[in-house]
Structure formats: structure tokens, C-alpha cells
Amino acid sequence: MNGTAVVPSAGEQNRALWLSTVAFTVCFAVWTIFSIIGIQIKKDLGLNDTQFGLLVGTPILTGSLIRLVLGIWTDQYGGRVVFSGVMASGAIATVLLTFAYDYPTFLLAALGVGIAGGSFAVGIAYVSRWYPKGKQGTALGIFGVGNVGAAVTKFLAPFVLVAFGWKTVALVWAAALMVMAILFFLFAKDDPQLAERKRLGVKPESFASQMAPLKNLQVWRFSLYYFFVFGAFVALSLWLPRYFIGVYGVDIATAGMLGAAYSIPGSIFRAMGGMMSDKFGARRVMYWTFIASVVATFLLSYPATTYTVAGIRGPITFTMA
């Protein structure tokens, strides 16, 4: 490519980063909507825990698999167009969710809702092109704070559900996503690489050539790492409210608050992880993350237990809840 690429200003970088972060937050809130409304749907349809697990996991399946295609489209057509399209499609699917009437139609609607989860691949590709390599970790870490959308759903959705029903939750979340899609399309700009390519009249790489990284074993290895780390985060984000209700008998609002207490630190540490990766290297930070995750999930998985020790003056009881 001939010519000198235009270096974006700090203002343009900040605009791209914060628009993308807010958009990802809304997308993540929609993507995890079944963590709350799924509990009511489970009651309405009389689902067992296996059926409930499949229902809440279906959007995650779509959001994960579609990321490959969305990432390629972002390279070809730019994050502004693709991100806006993802949000608009996810909003429409969330509205259609309110028309589901039995378990198969809920699963079908959940597949559509999962489109919102594909926004992560679009966002990281779009944001990274506004920053030099030495600052990409920090920028992508800030973008990753959008995971807090899971906490937004857990904080707010229970109150809307109790007051107006789960369909209102879906409609409000869909409206927020559609508004964000419009705002992003209007105010976001093409990334510097795409703008330069348009200026020079260079065609994007073919779909087949974009698939070339799949031949690299390292790509699959890091995908496996991501499967365990982010997969565990999303799985627990979806399942914890149901777990708290079933094990501790709390109401849905309290369960949502407790679930949000799990989601918020994960979002904050994403920003810290990005900055630490720039400073210490991604591999080292990743291993620290694995160790911390293993310890924390073991403690979380430990069942409620009561120990009784025979003391001199009678039994002494210790309880771990």
C-alpha cells in the first residue's frame, strides 16, 4: 500500500474507544439477559435444570461461533458498519424473543439474541486499529470493561421483571441496543486502516485468505485458553443467579445483586489486565490469571459444609456456607 497512513488524534482514539466500550456494554447486557429472565421462563414452561442450562447457553453458542465471521467482516468492511449491524440484528432478535411460546421457539429466539455476543470480535478489531501496539493492551482492556453489561442486567433486570414481567425486560434491552446501534453508526468513524484503503482504492482481502490464521497451531492454543477463562466467566455469570435462588432461597433481586458482585470485578480486572500485559507481557499475566481463577473457582465450588469437633465441654460446630 502506497502513501502515508493518517495517524489518528487522541480525540479520535478516545471517541472510538468509548463509543465501542459503551456499545459492548449494552451488547453484553443483552447477551446475558437469560441469566435473569430465564429464571421466570423456566417457571412458566416448567423446565428442568438441564433444559434451563441449554436455554441460557444457546445465546453463548451463537455469540461464540459467529465471532469468526464477524471478525473477518470487520477487516473487510470496517467496525463502524459491522458493529452497528450486529447491534441492530441483536435488537430485532430480542424483540422477537417476546413472541416465543414454547421451548423450541425460545431456543430459536435465543440463537438470535446471541448475535449480540459476537460484538466482542468486532470491537477488539476496531479499537486495536486506532492505537499503536504499545498501547493496545490498555485500550483493549478498557474496551473489555464492557463485560460489566452482565452486572447491569443483574442489577436492573430483576426490578423490571418483578414490576412489569420478563417481556418488558426484553423490549427495554432491545430498545437500548437499537438506540446504541444508531448512535454508533452516526458518530463512529472508519478506522485509519480502512480509511486509507478506501482512499487508495485497495480491495479487502478475500474471505479465504482471512481464514489463513486457522492453520496456525498457536491460534488454536490461545483459543483453548480463552475457552477456559472467558468461558468460565460467562457460564458463571449466567448460572449464579439461578444457583443462589436454588441453594440459598433468596429472591430474584437479591440473586441478581449477588451475581453482579461476581461480574463487576471481572470487568474491572480486564482493564487492569490490559495495562499489566503492556507492562509485563501477555503470557505472564495470563498465567497469573489461570492461577487466580483456579483458586477462586475452587472456593466458589466448595459446597456448604458443617464440621463438628468433639470438644471437652461439648461439640464445637463450624459452618462454611
User: Highest mean pLDDT range out of 60-74, 86-100, 134-148?
Assistant: 86-100
Q: What are residue 314's phi and psi, to 5 degrees?
A: 125, 175
The x, y and z cell numbers of residue 160, run together, are: 423490571
Nearest alpha carbon to residue 238 among 140, 126, 114, 132: 114
Residue 260 lies in a domain: yes
Within a domain: residue 191?
yes
CATH number of the domain residue 36 falls in: 1.20.1250.20
Phi, psi of 47 (to 5 degrees): -80, 150
184 occurs within a structural domain: yes
User: Is 33 among the domain residues?
Assistant: yes
* Least confident segment among 19-23, 70-74, 143-147, 271-275: 271-275
Is 136 inside a domain boundary? yes
The reported pLDDT for the residue numbered 2 is: 44
Identify whether 287 is part of a domain: no
- The predicted pLDDT at position 6 comes to 66
Number of structural domains (the chain) is 1
Q: Which domain holds residue 223?
A: 10-282
Q: Which of the pair, 172 or 3, is modelled with greater confidence?
A: 172
309 within some domain: no
Closest CA to 72 of 223, 176, 204, 195: 204
Which pLDDT score is estimated for 134? 82
Q: How far apart are CA 5 and CA 177, in angstroms?
A: 33
Question: What gap in Å lies between CA 24 and CA 30, rounded to an integer?
Answer: 10
> In this structure, what C-alpha cell is assigned to residue 186?
452516526
7-16, 212-221, 248-257, 309-318: segment of lowest average pLDDT: 309-318
Identify whether 265 is part of a domain. Answer: yes
Averaged pLDDT score across all residues of the chain:
88
* pLDDT for residue 131 is more than 80: yes
pTM of the model: 0.84
Task: Return the exposure string of 6-17: e unless at least 16 CB atoms fall within 10 Å of the residue's CB, then b.
Answer: eebeeeebebbb
CA distances from 9 to 2, 6, 159, 236, 247 (A): 21, 9, 42, 39, 52
